[in-house]
Every structure is written in C-alpha cells, then in structure tokens.
C-alpha cells in the first residue's frame, strides 16, 4: 500500500511506507503515546514514530512524521489500528429515528481514501490580494494550533501554509498580514483549492438501523489506536506469560503479536486441562 499523499524529496513524490513488526514493544509504545498528556497531534506523532519502520523512504523521526499531510497521518493511524486489532471492529450507535441502540462492524482498511490531486502538496489560489500559493496542512501545523480556538486556529493555519504571494516567498510577518486581509470569498477559494489537491480519508461510515431501517452517517475516529486498551491488556498478557514460562518482560515484548497470542492460548488450554 502507498500513502494517499506522500513526501516530496528532491522533486519526487515518495509514497511508500512500512510498519515495524507488531511486537509487544511496539504495542506498549503506542499505548504509552495514547496515555500521554500532550495534544492529540503530538500523541499521533509519538505513536507513528514508534510504530513505523520508514515512511517516504525516510526514517520515521518526529520531524518527518510531523511533516506528513493530515490525511496521510490519519491513513497511517487507521492502518495501525487494524494491525493492533486485525479484522472488523464493532461500534455502537443510537438510531435517531426509533431511538434503538444498534451495533455495526467497521473494517478500518476498507474506508474510502481519496488520493492527492495534481499539484500536491501545493495549491494556487487567486485572492483579492493577488495570486497566492498554499501547501496542504501537516501534523506540525496541527500541533501548532492545537490549543487555539477555531477562529484563531484557522488564521494561524493559513499563515503557516501560505508559501508565496505575487510570486514572492511569504515570510512570517507578511503571511499574517495577508491572512488578516483576506475576505470571506478568499477563505472559500483557499478552502476549495486546498481540498482539490489534498488527500482525504473517510472519517464516517453509513450504517442502517436493524430495527427500522433508517440509514445513518456515523463518525469514525481515525485515531482510535490511541484510545484502545492495548496498554493495560498487554501488561496482563505479559504477567500471564511470565508466570507460566518465567521469561523476562523484554523477552515477552520482543515476541510477534500472533506468537504471543498463541502462547496465551496454550496457557489457557493447560489451565483448562489442569482444572
């Protein structure tokens, strides 16, 4: 699989990526990232840096991961969630038509993905202040605006993403001045232009209520991997294996996920036979 966006290196778009083998050590690092006190974008960066082997041909250093487009980060987090818990995930929703609660299954790897458009990662826009060039928002931009209110966050985001205007590179001061002078029509044009070139990952699914048949559009959390119980579950699994085989924590964490689960099955089987 490839990233829907990618990283531009030496004028070429690099879209390949690879995760590290899913060992207990990787699961623990993702669990610790999810439990950290930082902003959501910062926790996403920590989880991806810990779980990726490479991205765009580069080592997954924090500065590389923060430079990914927002949709690329969402795509990778959905892939990570599917690796942590393979198969379908069951979610619960309430029907607005009949008030019944119902469950539905989601396969995170089957969510719709729109690849980047021509010109990615840049979009050229004709504004009231003249032609401007913007780049698509990245994880670094998300981290920068994480604690701002919506209005201030939008202005800050556009100032960060403004690359040039009237053919001149935009420094920090001129970028802020330009953003403050944009009209509502300018904001709409910028939004449309960025949307046309930006990759996109579906963050909602359609599900029908089994009781009345009403169709609902239900949000899906692309960062679900950060809120899973893998940290606490993993500690319980380590305890069970260490108690049975007397292996060290490091040895157990180095096991691939499927082999660790196989050992747990053997332990449970042995307990059943002993009982």
Residues 22 and 140 in one domain: no
- Please write down the long-range contacts of 162-171, taking CB distance under 8 Å and 24 or more positions apart: 162/132, 162/133, 162/134, 163/122, 163/133, 163/134, 163/135, 164/132, 164/133, 165/127, 165/129, 165/130, 165/131, 165/132, 165/133, 166/129, 166/130, 166/131, 167/131, 170/132
Residues 69 and 132 in one domain: no
Number of domains in the chain: 3
CA within 13 Å, CB half, 79: 21
Domain end marker among 150, 182, 198: 198
Residues 192 and 267 in one domain: no
Tens-digit pLDDT profile for the chain (275 aa)? 899 999 998 889 999 999 999 999 999 999 999 989 899 999 999 999 999 999 999 999 999 999 999 999 999 999 999 999 888 888 899 999 999 999 999 998 889 999 999 999 999 999 998 999 999 999 999 999 999 998 899 999 999 999 988 767 766 667 888 899 999 999 999 999 999 999 999 999 999 999 999 999 999 999 999 986 666 788 899 999 999 999 999 999 999 999 999 999 999 998 887 65
Residues 267 and 171 in one domain: no
Q: Residue 160: which domain range?
A: 122-198
Residues 215 and 80 in one domain: yes
């Amino acid at each position: 699989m490839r990233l829907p966006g990618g990283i531009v290196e030496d004028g070429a778009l690099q879209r390949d990526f690879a995760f590290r083998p899913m060992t207990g050590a990787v699961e623990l690092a993702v669990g610790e990232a999810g439990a950290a006190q930082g902003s959501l974008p910062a926790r996403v960066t920590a989880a991806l840096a810990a779980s990726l082997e490479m991205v765009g041909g580069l080592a997954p250093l924090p500065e590389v991961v923060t430079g990914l487009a927002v949709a690329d980060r969402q795509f990778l987090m959905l892939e990570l969630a599917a690796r942590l818990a393979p198969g379908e995930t069951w979610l619960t929703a309430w029907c607005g038509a009949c008030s019944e609660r119902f469950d539905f299954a989601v396969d995170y790897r089957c969510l719709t993905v729109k690849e980047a458009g021509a010109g990615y990662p840049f979009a050229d826009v004709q504004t009231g202040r003249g032609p401007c060039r913007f780049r698509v928002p990245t994880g670094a931009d998300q981290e920068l605006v994480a604690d701002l209110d919506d209005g201030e966050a939008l202005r800050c985001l556009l100032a960060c993403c403004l690359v040039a205007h009237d053919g001149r590179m935009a420094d920090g001061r001129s970028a802020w001045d330009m953003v403050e002078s944009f009209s509502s029509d300018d904001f709409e044009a910028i939004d449309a232009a960025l949307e046309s070139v930006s990759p996109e990952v579906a963050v909602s699914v359609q599900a029908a209520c089994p009781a009345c048949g009403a169709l609902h559009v239900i949000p899906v959390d692309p960062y679900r991997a950060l809120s899973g119980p893998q940290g606490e579950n993993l500690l319980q699994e380590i305890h069970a294996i260490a108690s049975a085989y007397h292996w060290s924590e490091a040895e157990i964490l180095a096991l691939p996920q499927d082999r660790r689960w196989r050992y747990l099955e053997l332990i449970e089987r042995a307990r059943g036979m002993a009982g």
